[in-house]
Chains A and B, each alone.
Chain A
Amino acid sequence: MMPVFELLRDDDEARTGNQILSRPGRILLAVGILGLAAAGPIAGSIQPFWVNLLVRMLAFALLALSLDFVFGYAGLLSFGHAAMYGAGGYTAALLVGQVTPNALVVLPASVLVGVVVAALIGWLSVRARGIYFAMLTLAFAQLLYVVVFTDLPATIAGAETVTGGDNGLYGIGSYELAGVGFGDPLAYYFLTLALVALSLAGLIRLANSPFGRVIQGVRENEDRIEFIGYNVQRYKVIAFAISGGFAGLAGGLYVPFQSVANPGLLHWTVSGELVVMVLLGGMGTLWGPMVGAGLVVFLEDRLGGVASWEVILGTLFVLVVIFAPRGIAGALISLRDDPSGAVDSVKEALKNYVREVRD
């Protein structure tokens, strides 16, 4: 965990302002990661199933983090992140099943495939803006979904099966690393937590880098950024490819743990739910969408049997949009800035909402 702390500690205090995550925020984050590290064994000793849930929450937190890097931070509304997630997942499934369970080989491969798929989709989509960009990414992701669902690679290669078609691939083993197996859910949990923490630290660093500042400028004012000397298209494609790498990693962590890869990973509903997670958590904060994703996965697991999950998620989403338009992260930040104003701001939000609905 040491490198994580090193990366989280930023001594270049923000003379330039608008820094992602202040110093107290980073300390809180480190505490949160330590808390999660402790939560694994505790949850496992109560009920082994909880560890399983925690791993899924972490995998989706990573996926939401990757989306927030382009959506919240660079202003690119991707509606096709399931493509990179699924591509990373299938890469892991095929490699673990047929080549090697070595995590040092498979996980980088998942990242790389995510980067390549994202670079391709990004390159084809970034000239379109806003909703048109979203629609293009959605279309490309659905295209990949159909490719996997119909097992097009097998048809082309003349093989019997590659992706397993609509059945998918199952019976996928777990990772190994230096002779240590990750078949135990708790061990897998620690592997996942370490990689998610590293990813977060890495993306925070990226967000504060010269590159990160430029893509923030792209979000703020795309027209102007070009007239101060930046190649906007190239910045967007690179940001999208980086994001795709982390989405691929999320898929690579999720699939061997579930020991199943099915076309559902790539379905547009995954991309859609992901956008909801990011908005729920608070876009542009990086940590907020992770909290949002964890919460959604948790609630889906706990409440999925009580009523139709879509109804619950929809209700939750509507409530957050009305009362906390900047998501969970936004609500927490305003609570910190003004703890006594919380009740007033809820009233204010309700009033605003009613007024806008009437108009």
Chain B
Amino acid sequence: MEFYGMEMVPEIETATSCYHCGENCDAELVKLEEKTFCCEGCKMVFEILQENDLCTYYDLENNPGLSLKGKRTTTYAYLEEKEVQEKLLTFSNGHLSKVSLHLPQIHCSSCIWLLENLYKLHPGITQSQVNFPKKTIYLTFEQEQTSLRKIVELLASIGYAPTINYSQLESKEQVNKDHSLTYKLGVTGFLFGNIMLISFPEYLGLQASVYATWFGYLNIAMALPLLLYSGSDYLRSAYYGLRQGHLNIDVPVSLGMLALFGRSLYEILSHTGAGYFDSLAGLIFFLLVGKWFQGKTYHNLSFERDYKSYFPIATLVKRKKDWVSTPLNKVEIGDQLLIKNGELIPADAKISKGVAHIDYSFVSGEEELITKRLGDRIFAGGKLQGGSIEVTVSRKVEHSYLTQLWNDQAFKKDKFEGKQSRLANQIAKFFTIVILSIAGLTFWYWWRIDSSIAFNAFTAVLIIACPCAVALAIPFTYGNVLRMLARHQFYVRHTQVIEALQSITHIVLDKTGTLTDNRQLSLQYEGDELPEAFKRAVKSMVVQSSHPLSVGIARLLSTSEILDQQVSVTEIPGKGLEAVIKGKTYRLGSAHFVGVEQNHRKGVFLQVEGEIKGLFTYKNQYRNTLDSFIADLRQLFKLSLLSGDNNQELEYLSPYFDADDQLHFNQSPQDKLTYIQSLQQEEAIVLMLGDGINDAGALQQSHVGVVLTEDINNFTPASDAILGAAQFGQFPALIRYIRQSKWVVYFAYAIAACYNVVGLSYAVQGLLSPVVAAILMPLSAITIVIIGVGGSWWLAQRNLGSVGDKNHQWV
């Protein structure tokens, strides 16, 4: 049906996105049937799935695939080694083998579906099961039909390359989840419910004569495991604390527990009352729930990953005449190693053959390739680009330069005791003393008037005075704060870090990768005007390379189309690209590569048939929220900037910072560490925001080390918190939220104080009955929980806007 009289609306160009992974296909467009893909890799995965009838993968989620753009293929040859297999397989009986692999790329239900249908892709796999929170797959396979190496290669080809770490080879400890708290919760819940059931007649005031005794004994029988099993943690902690002369929170709690138990036992055995076992059960149950809640903020990231994870776990070593794949811990000084393109240099060594172009961005943060020749020493941690080299090991892995930085004894971080924990412990001490005095006074008062009430009142005071707030407020409040933060991609290690974050006075910022966005290089072209034919030629060259500069140039030339026929391009690492297109020789690369004299212009030169046409210059692109970021933070903290680069950027950065802020350039990893130490000596509480190994030492040294990462799953060694790069601009708001949350805790303490006053007023008059206790105690506990959880949730709404992305939060 046609609509006459309607204006023709011009077609709006929408960016095409890849059917597999959803990324923009701006640099390159690959088509198959009706679908578009961003690269050959994505198209290949699609074809694999289509052949095997697994396209339900795409039905479950939109663009569920993981981008394979520019991913290098790793060699898995070392998985053939018996030794390596022994360490990685969880079970093997010669016929069937089982292995569990960590796949950090698992992120949606399509992943689960595909990975559990792996048997369709690979005949040897009999079954596979995914544990989503742990991002792990458990595979069973037949050894006659396939091998560990083939399975890993398959996984890599569909985008789920497993992370196999050096530390996995070292020890085979399986960290099994500790279920003792779950057991305790189950048992305590059982006891809680049944004791309350048995105590019911008492609530109703029924004079159950015969039953009373039997029910009483039943209650005692159930209260014993309650005290000795469910409450064991608190009793033990109080005991050890007292032995060392500390009065911690668990002391008044244990005192209350023992008073409850003792008095109830006496009452039942002497037939003077029904006891307070229900209150005891309720108290312990709530305390355990608090612990469980706090433990539930478990993140799917491994915080204890250390530097070893960056090293490949096996390397080619020359044994006699052959290159043999050897596990890293077997490499000795003097061994000859063969390192190939894209591999990490596993140990400090001396080059014996070849010229090395090394990317030390892990170590120094700068992506400029360093060239080393025959006889030069190269350090571990760099990534080799280009031709392979042979080296002689000069230092074993443990003694490498990076390790030294890590093993520096200055690193053992002192346990930071936050203000609230200190307050909690002070309250605990104060509380115990005050309660004991009140109890004593009450006893003394009543003794002179009516001695029977005296004993009752004394124990009543001990029972009703509930330090629950002290034990519950922090776990529930800060536990919830951790969850709220995780929803905004700010993963904090545990509640102690929250308290440390509230005391920060000084923030130290790293430059490269933190303030700058490594994924964006603003490229500009200077030089002769390029005819369209040239632009197309250049575009066809750069799309074949995954170097960030090539990608940038391709984006700059987004309007030009790639040439129809395949262009054969040679990429010379460290130098540039060369191709012959339509008879003309094109060269794109460094000044040295195109034969221009070394001048101070940095960039990619374009040379056609020997003639320099122009230059692509690039600048570090700063994150676009940098303005508000610095402005907000400056209001609350002192700022410093540390950079491994030279001070070229000083002019650009100065307007952002104040005169009092400190900017330091040319900082080595050790310099950064020393700077933090000097700040700490001036009594500053330091937070460091950085991005990688080159500031790892400084991150460890500071009171709070926060790592900014583009990809949540590929990040650094031990840090106290991780912030997703996309949330960079939100950082000031997140800090403000954390600082405000302490008021929730204080408020909870205040409310708890009110409850205690009310309860004590009953107790000192000797009017405390089991019913009153049974109501007041759970009520106070519940109120604290509601205040803690509700308060922190409400503050999150106020400070952080939306509730964040639930899919990113893994709780």
Q: Do A and B bind each other?
A: no
Which A residues are within 8 Å of any B CB, using their own CB?
A: none
Which B residues are within 8 Å of any A CB, using their own CB?
A: none
